[in-house]
Structure 1
Amino acid sequence: MPKKAAKKSGKMSQMSEEERLLYMQQKLLAEEEQTKKKEDMLMQFLKDKLAKEQRSSTINMNKLNVQWRCVLRETKIKELHKDIEILSQTFERVVDCKDSVIKSLTKDVDEAEEQYAHALRSHLQNIEQLLDLQRERLTLLREEYQQDLDAVQKEFETERKMIIQQKETETMYLQNVLLAMEQNSSENENETKLEFQSMRDEIKNKSLEEKHALRVTLEGTVEDLWKQFQLALKNYTDSTEDRKIAYDVLKVKDDKSACEIEMQMKKLQRIQDSITSLRNKIAVHARESDEQNRQLRQDKIVVHKQFQKLKGRMNQARAAEHSRLATLTVQSNATLKKLQGVIDKGDHILRLAEMCRKLETEEEKVLPFYPSSLSAEEREEAERASMEEPTEQLAQLMQDYTALDQFWKRYNKVLLERWALDCEKGVLTQDNYKLRVLLKQYLDGISVSDEVLTQENSLLILNNRSNMQQKLPPQVPVTDTRVRRPVHNIIEAAHVVSHTL
C-alpha cells in the first residue's frame, strides 16, 4: 500500500494540474459506479427477500384464514342450529295461533255470510213486494187505458156510422134533386121548342104577306130609282174614277182586315165560350167546395170538441201520473236515504268490529263465543220452541233473526262488561272522594290558617279520638254485587306522630 501510494504520489507529482483533475474525476466516477453497483445489488437482494417474505406471509395468512374459517363455520353452524330450533318452535307457535285465528275468522266469515244471505233474502223479498206493487199499479193503469181506449173507439165508430149515414142520405137527396132538375129542364125545353116553332111559322107567314105587298109597291119605285141610279152611277163613275181605284185597293185591304177581324172574332168567341164554360165550372166547383167546406167545418167542430174532451182526459191522467210519479220519487228518495243510513250504520258497525277485533285477547280470538249459560233442560226447551212454528207476529220476526244469536251473545257480554266497569268506576270514584277528604283533613291538620281555625280542627284529640266527623261522599248506587273493593283501615299521621313522640 505505501508503495502504491508512493507510486501514485509519484505519478501525481509527475502529472500536470489538468491531468491531475482528469484523473481525480475518473477516480470519482469509478467510485460512484462501484457504490451504485453495490446499492443495486443490495436493492435486488432486498427485493428478492421481500418477495420471499410476502409469499410466505400470504401462504401463512391463507392457512390462518382457512383455519379461522373452519372455526367460524362450526360456531356459526351451532348458532344457526339453535336459531333454527327457536324459529321452528316460534313458527309452530305462530302457526298454531294463525290456525286458531283462521278458524275464528272462518267462523266469522260463515256467520257474516249467513247474515248477508239473510239480509239479501229480506232485501229480495222487499224488492219482490215492490215489484208486485208496481205490476199491480201497471195492470190497473193498463186496464184504465184500455177502458178509455175502448170508449173512444166506440164513440169514434158511432160518429163514423152517423157520418156515413148522413152522407148516404145527402147523396140520395142530391141524386133526387138532380133527377127532378133534369125532368124540369127537359119539360121546359120541349115547351120552349114548341113555342119557338109556332112563333117561327107565324113570323114566316107575316113576312111572306108583307113581302108580296112590298114587291108590288116596290116594282114601280125600283124602276124609278133604277133610272136615277143609272144617272147617278154614270155621274158617280165619271167623278169617282180615281176614288174607285183607291177604293179597290182599300177594299182589298178591307177584305184582308175583315178576314183577320173575323178570325180574331172567332178566336174571341172561342175564348168567351171557354170563359163562360170555365165560369160555369168554377161556379159549380165553388158551390161544391162551399158545401164541402161547410161539411168540413162541421166535422172540424165535432173533432175539435172530441179533441178537447180527450185533451182534458189526457191532462187529468197526466196530472194524476205526475202526482203519482212525484210521490214515487219522494218515497224512493226516502228509501234511498234510509238505505244509505243503513249502509252507513253497517260501515260504522264493521269499523267498530275491526277495532274490537284488534283489541281482542288471544283467548277471545281462539274462542270468540262463550258457552251458553243455560242448563241442558233449558236448552232442550229452547230447541223445541225453535222447532215449533211461531204463532205471534213478533215471534215470527224474532225467528227471522236467529242468525244473529252469536252476535247478540258477544254484544250482551260486552254490555255486561261495560256495566261492570261502570259500577267499578263508581266504587273507585267513591274511594277517591274519601281519600281526597282525608288528604284535605290531614293538610288542614298540619297547617294553621284562619280557615282552619274557624272550622273543626283535627289537632284536638280527646281519648285518642278526633272531634272531626268524617265526611262521606254521596252514596253512589252500586247494584253489582260481583264487584267488591277491599276495605283499608286508615290512621291519621298526626295521631301516629303524637304516640311516637
Structure 2
Amino acid sequence: MPKKGKVNKLARMSDEERARYLQHRADVEEEARRRKRELVARFIKNKLDKEEVYARINTAKINQEWRYILRKIKCKQMASDIQGLITSFNFLLERKNRLLNSLMEAIDDSDEQHRRAFQAHTETLSYFLNIGSQRLDKLQVEYEHQKNDFLENWDKEEIDITDNQDRAEFKLTLITYIQDRDFKSLKKEKEIQSATEKNDSRLEHEEEMRQLCKPKQLEIDMYWSKLREVYDIYLEKHNPIMSHYNALREKDDFYQRDIARNEIQIQQATEILTTLQKEWVRTTTTMSCKLNHMNTKKEELAKKYWLMKKETKTAKAKEDEMLSVLVDASQEAIKRLENFETMLQKIKQLADICSKYETDKDHIFLEDVEDDITSADFETLDNDMIEQCKEFKKMDKFLLKMNRVKVQTMCLKTERAKLTKENIQLKQYIKRYLTELALKGGKDRPLSVKCQSEPKIEVNGKLLNRPVTCIEGALSNAVMHEQRLKLQEKKKKELGSVRAYPRVHCW
C-alpha cells in the first residue's frame, strides 16, 4: 500500500514538483548515507584512538618493568665495584701512611744532620774570620809604617829639588845677560863693517860703468848717422814709385765703389722683377679662385633657390595639414570643454548633494579658509589682479574640500573593509555553529534554531509534507535580492555613478 500511495502521489504531481520532490528525497538519502559514513568513521576513529592509548600504556608499563630490572642489575654491579674500590682504597691508604712515616723519619734524620753540619760550618767560619782579621790588622800596621817613610822621603826630595831649581835659574839668567851683551856689541861691529863694504863696492861699480859706456856711446852715434844716410837714399829712390802706387790705389778704390753700386742696382732690379712675377702669379691665382668661387656660389644659389621652392611647397602643404589638424583639435577641444562642463555640472550636483551632509565642523573649516583668503596680502598688486587672485583662491577652497572628501572616502573604505572582514568571520562562525548543530542531530539545539515541522497535507487520509511551489520560489529572498541588485545597477548607469554617502567622522 505505501508504494501505491507513493506512486499515486508522484502521478498527481507536475514535472517540476516531481523533480523537486525527487531531488529532495535524493538529498535526504545522501544526507543519511553521509551521516552513516561519518558515524562509522567516528566509531572506527574512536576505537583506534582507544587502541593507541592502550598500546601506549602497555608499552609504558613494559618499559618501566624493563628499566626496573636494568636498574637492579646496575645496582648490583655498582655495589660490587664500590666494594672493590673500598678495599683498594684502604690498601693504598695504608701504603701511603707507611710511606709518610718513613719519610718523616728520614726528614728528622736529615734535619739533625743538617744542624750538626751547620754548627761545624759556623765554627770553621768563625776560626777563619779570626785569622783574617789578625792578618788584616798586621797588614794595616805595615801599610801605615811604609806610608810614613814614603812621606818623609818625599819631603826631603822636594826640598832638594827646589834648591837645585833656584840655583839653575840664577845661572840661566847670568848666561842670558852675558850673551845679550856680547850679541849687541858684535851686531854693531858687523853693521859698521857691512856699511863700509857696501859703499866701497858701489863706488867701484860706478867707475866701471863709466869706463864701459864711453866706447859704446861712440859706436851708437856712428851707427845712427849711417842709418840716417841710408834712409835718405831710400826715400830719394822710392818717392816716384810710391806716388804712382797711391794714384793706382785711388783709381782701384773708385772702380770698386762703382762696381759695388752697379751690383746693388742689379740686385734691386732682380728683386723688383721677382716681386712683380710673384704679384702676377698671385693675382692670376686669386682671379681664378674668385672665378671658381663665384661659379660655385652661383651653383649653390641655384640649388638654394630650388630647395627654397621645394620647402615653400612642403611648408604650404604642412600648413594646410596643420590647419586641418588645428581645426580637428579645436573641435576636439570644444568637445572636451563640453565634457568638462558636464563634469563640472555633475561635480556641482555632487557638491550640492554633499552639502546636505556637511556638519558644523566643515562649515567652520571653510569659514576659516575664507578668512585666510581675505587676510591675504595684495598690497603690491592692482585691483584687477587682486580680484583675479581672489577668484583663483576659491579653487584652493574647492581643493581643500575635495581632499577632505577623499580622506573621508578612504576612511569609509577602510571601515567597509573592516566590516566585510567581520561579516565574513561571522558567516564562518554561524556556518560552523550550524554544522555542529546538524551533526548533533537537533538534540542540543536552541529553540530559535530548532527545525519546525513543515505544514502537512492530507492525501487519501494520510499526512504528507508539502513541497515548495513555483510562486514561493520566485518570491524568495534570494531571487528578490538579485532583482534588487539589477535595479541598482541600472540606476547607477542612469545617474552616471554619482552617489552620496553620509558623512562619517573617522579622525
Task: With the length of structure 1 as denominator, give the TM-score of the two structures.
Answer: 0.23
Which has the higher relative contact order, 1 or 2, with Cα contacts under 8 A spaced 6 or more apart? 2
